Amino acid sequence: MNWDDMRVFLGVARAEGLTAAAPILKMDPATLGRRIARLEQAVGAALFVKSPQGYALTDLGAQMRDRAAEAETALSLAVDTGQGAATLSGQIRIGAPDGAANYLLPQVCADIQARNPDLEVQILALPRAVNLSRREADMAITVSPPATGRLTVQKIIDYRLHLATRRDAQPIGAIADIRGRSIVGYIPDMIFDKELDYLSEIGQTGVQLASNSVAVQLQMLRQAGVGIVHDFALPSAPELTRVLMDEVALQRSFYLVRHASDQQSERLSRFAAALTMGLRSEVERLEKQVTLTDAHTV
């Protein structure tokens, strides 16, 4: 058994299937299936329960995943030790809610990568919390600090949200004016973090246009309705404007979450520092931009 077998095993375990793991591991599903079968033969036991829904770990497979993940961390630290400090290199994956993934991370990560040409940055945008314990990503941006796990948490920045609607829509002068309009927001039973439950803030109990994606919600608002929007997303939708800013003004926070063991990695720590600084600057820049736009249109 060699490390490449463990790399394949971890990739399939994390993706929960051959097809999902194939592009990550840069192998076709049939090859991955043969590799897993060979590994199970070498171990002498099943590591996965296979079904049309995917590959679920057996108890033994889960134990092996945990040990393999620890070995992966140790190997990564060893590689980091051997790398020079001039530039960052290798692959780093960031998990994030799609608001940050769509409107902040592309600019920030492109800037970091431009300064480090040998670095590969991957943005994992999910409508749920990223599972760092299963190594879905090297680090994650969250809107609530996790309560469990061997993780470290650093607050990045506060950000603001307001009600928004089309500039050419009928004026909204009070909360009562929202009645009868389509409310845009999250699919209620798919809200994965209490900080994303905005309806109570505007006295509403349901939504007429819903999506689990912030980007889709913004596109819905460009068509019709009223809903809560990240201020930093508004520069990408100039046909929208904030309304009732004194009555409805929300504030949330972004946190950077990392594996506790990764604090020993100079490479990941340097990337985390650059990411944190970049996110702070980008949120401040975009929020200032939307404030200036509102001032010029009054």
The ranges of the chain with pLDDT < 50 are 84
**Which residues have a Cβ under 8 Å from the Cβ of 123 and sit 6 or more positions away?**
93, 94, 96, 101, 105, 106, 109
Q: Are 235 and 135 in contact (CB under 8 A)?
A: no
What confidence score (pLDDT) does residue 206 get?
85
> Beta strand pairing status for 226-230 and 119-125?
unpaired
What confidence score (pLDDT) does residue 150 get?
81
What confidence score (pLDDT) does residue 75 get?
67
Phi, psi of 94 (to 5 degrees): -115, 125
What confidence score (pLDDT) does residue 113 get?
96
What confidence score (pLDDT) does residue 79 get?
58
> Beta strand pairing status for 48-51 and 54-57?
antiparallel
Domains in the chain (CATH in brackets) are 1-82 (1.10.10.10), 92-298 (3.40.190.290)
What confidence score (pLDDT) does residue 25 get?
85
Give the tens place of pLDDT for each residue, 139-168.
999 999 887 778 899 999 999 999 999 999
